[in-house]
Amino acid sequence: MNAQEIIRSIEAEQIKTDLPDIYVGDTIRVGVKIKEGEKFRIQPYEGVVIARRHGGINQTITVRKVFQGVGVERVFLIHSPRIDSIKVIRRGKVRRAKLFYLRDRVGKATRIKQRFDRPL
C-alpha cells in the first residue's frame, strides 16, 4: 500500500455518514460540543449556510447568524468530532454558490425565500 491509500483508509474511518444534505442558503442548527472542565455539553448554533468549501473529510461550511444586532460567522469542519449533530431547519432558494452579499445587508433584506422541492 502506498501513502495515498493509507491516508484514504484513515479518512474513511473518520468520515460521518449520518449527515443530512446541506446546501447553501439552508438554515441549519449545528450542535457543537463544548468542554467545560471535565464535562461536555451541546451548544446549538443556528444560522444560514453562506458557503461550502473543499470535499471529503476536509469539507467545511460557513454559518452566519445575527446575534444582538451583530453578524456572527463560524466555519465548521462537518466531519469533526466536535460536531455532535446537524439538523436542517428550512431550505433556502438561492441562485449562487456563495452568499457573501448577506454581510452587507441588514434586517429584512437578509431574508431568503424558502424552497419546498427538497425534503428536510
Residue 28 resides in a domain = yes
**Structural domain range at position 19:** 3-106
> How many structural domains comprise the chain?
1
Q: Is 96 exposed, middle or buried (0-12, 13-18, 19+ CB in 10 A)?
A: exposed
Residue 116 resides in a domain = no
Whole-number percent of the chain with pLDDT over 90:
92
Confidence grade of residue 120 (pLDDT, cut at 50, 70, 90): confident
Residue 111 resides in a domain = no
Residue 59 resides in a domain = yes
pLDDT of 1 strictly over 80: no
Residue 118 resides in a domain = no
pTM, 2 dp: 0.91
pLDDT in tens, 54-111: 999 999 999 999 999 999 999 999 999 999 999 999 999 999 999 999 999 999 999 9
